[in-house]
Structure 1
Amino acid sequence: MARLFEQRYPHGTVNTEITREQALLIHEKGVGAWQLEADLSINALVQDKTEVLLMGGDNCIQSNLPIPKSNSTYYFEVKITEKPADVNMWIGVATKPYPYWRMVGMNKYSVGYNTSDGKVHNSTPFRGVKIGEKCIVGDTIGVGHNPRAGYVWFTHNGRRYSTTLMGLNYDLFPSVSADGPCSFSVNFGQRGFVFIEANVKKWGLAPIEGCLLPPPTYGADHGTVLLDAADDLTAENNSGSVHENDPSSSDNVSITIRNSSFNQQGSSNNPRIPNNAPQTAPKRFAPPNYQEDDPIAIQILEAKNTRIMTSSLKSHATETQPNLSEFLANSDFLP
């Protein structure tokens, strides 16, 4: 099956370099752009992008993006959170496409560290080089890659092994495989590494935070075509224009311009006022309230029940208040 897979997907037939869209994604999200992908053929469950549960069988899971090539060194770590004693895990890097049932390091263009015996397999299942020791639950395996020189090295619980594998000038993807149920967590640089040197030299796959620009400041879009159109509509609505279909508006007009020199069409009946004069209702002045302001009227109201009013009081009222002449003449309070 492995030979048939290699014949069907020879190396180089699929372009696995980081595309422009992927580069923009890395620029915006930083190391958060990397995540592990579980194909439908893989019996796996991925949570929070980097937490993986393999649920039995031979499975290999890889990241969605390859390791970049802009820096001299990149590094990531895998922590074993659950693994039975009889389950073997391989942690390393591999190209794409890679057979999902094949352990990392056993197929061409891949390198994998076997956590059961500490051996490293480089593109072959038959020969392994022992560089470390057996790993248990809670251990952390780190993988370092220099894309310019094309070599790969490993760490175990923060201690680097001296063995280095050369000649890996490919687009390599972080990969983890197992032949049974297990769970693990992958750190691409979103948190601190166990290997201290990687923290000091910042060997993560990308910065922790991306360079996504903040939203524009308030008012930065002032003067655009869309806002200018909205301002024109707002000014038109606030200009006091009356719509014929608005019954409330027509009622207000009839009340406002009642007893004025303007009709409902806005033209003036007064020849002294031009037709283009503003349609503003004149100020209305109510007549004075004589019952409250005039002392003579107060005396008349007080005497309404007596119906007795001397002529001197009447003459005094007409002399002091000429405007009351008509009111007194029509008053039924006087004899």
Structure 2
Amino acid sequence: MDSFAIITNHHKEAQSFRKQFPPSSNQFPTSEQVEQIKQAGLIDAYQLITDPAFLDVSFYSFDQVVFSASDQDRTCISRCPLMPLPGHVYCYFEAEVVMPDDLPLDAAISIGLVANPYPLFRLAGADPSSTSYVRNGEILSNGTFMRRGLPTFTTRTTVGCGYDPELGLVFFTNNGRLVSYFLCPDQRAYHAAVSANQPCVLQVNFGMNPFCYNLKDELMARMVDKPPSYDAAMSQPQ
């Protein structure tokens, strides 16, 4: 997987997109969005969507997305911005790579958060106002690889992404284990995002099924100490 290509692919087109469609600056979902989420319910509000022009992305069901393109960056996002789960201060979702069994080594998959509108022809994390956990064990945030050396993931791995909109805390999990957390300086009403550039199938869970990660216990134990700032996370050994 070419980390440099992830950042540079369609960079100029993304710049033009951001000028024409700047992302929302809201820190929290608007009252209209909150009402829409309540009325729509979990399944409809967080249904994954993408650019209708992407004929190489399809949805097998509400929670399963099929990427068919080869060497084309594609991103799907939740229809509505995330809201904290009932009884929690965190927004959280998980995505499992379910196919193929022989996922190519150069396949890039990223799972994270984006502010909408987002250039869906770029991987999550490759542009400003987005952050993601990339398959090769890197955190890609606002177009910069800010941390390396995390566990990699492949088929049958479940990756989780969480966000505390009050604190700006972002965290990632791998098969039920917390692997990274930091304070994000760019607090937005983020949408869930899953991205890939090679054929694969991802199963997404917004809480319809039990999570691999225990939200209540482990993260709260970790939060006894103040989480690292974004700048501190950026300066960690690579």
Please indicate the TM-score interval, normalised by the length of the shorter structure.
Answer: 0.7 to 0.9
Work out which of the residue numbers 87, 99, 104 in structure 1 matches 2:124.
104
What's 2:181 paired with? 163
What's 1:181 paired with? 199
Cα 1:194/1:94, change in 2 over 3 Å: same
Q: Greater relative contact order (Cα 8 A, min sep 6): structure 1 or 2?
A: 2
The reply to whether residue 80 of structure 1 matches residue 97 of structure 2 is: yes
Matches of 2:21 and 2:184, distance apart in 1: 23
What's 2:163 paired with? 145
Work out which of the residue numbers 24, 28, 42 in structure 2 matches 1:31.
42
User: Normalising to structure 1: TM-score of the pair?
Assistant: 0.54
Matches of 2:210 and 2:47, distance apart in 1: 17
CA contact (8 A) 2:132 2:140 kept: yes
What's 1:90 paired with? 110
What's 1:123 paired with? 142
Greater percentage in strand: 2
CA contact (8 A) 1:131 1:163 kept: no
Matches of 1:12 and 1:28, distance apart in 2: 22
3-state SS, counterpart of residue 38 of structure 2: helix
- 1:74 shift after superposition: 1.6
CA contact (8 A) 1:107 1:123 kept: yes
Instruction: Render the CA deviation track for 1:155-189: whole Å, top value 9, x for unaligned.
Output: 00000024324223101000011111111011000
3-state SS, counterpart of residue 27 of structure 1: helix
Extract unaligned runs of 5+ from structure 1: 202-335
3-state SS, counterpart of residue 97 of structure 1: coil
Aligned residue runs from structure 1 range 1-335, under 5 A: 1-12=13-24, 17-20=29-32, 22-28=33-39, 30-33=41-44, 34-42=46-54, 43-56=56-69, 57-68=72-83, 72-83=89-100, 84-85=103-104, 86-115=106-135, 117-124=136-143, 126-197=144-215
User: Normalising to structure 2: TM-score of the pair?
Assistant: 0.74
Matches of 1:178 and 1:75, distance apart in 2: 20
3-state SS, counterpart of residue 215 of structure 2: helix
Matches of 1:157 and 1:144, distance apart in 2: 14
Matches of 2:218 and 2:41, distance apart in 1: 18
3-state SS, counterpart of residue 66 of structure 2: strand
CA contact (8 A) 2:74 2:123 kept: yes
3-state SS, counterpart of residue 19 of structure 2: helix
Structure showing greater radius of gyration is 1
Report how many residues are paired: 198
Cα 1:12/1:163, change in 2 over 3 Å: closer
Matches of 2:24 and 2:162, distance apart in 1: 23
CA contact (8 A) 2:27 2:187 kept: no
CA contact (8 A) 1:151 1:168 kept: no
Greater percentage in helix: 1
Extract unaligned runs of 5+ from structure 2: 1-12, 220-238
**In angstroms, what is the RMSD of aligned CA positions?**
2.6
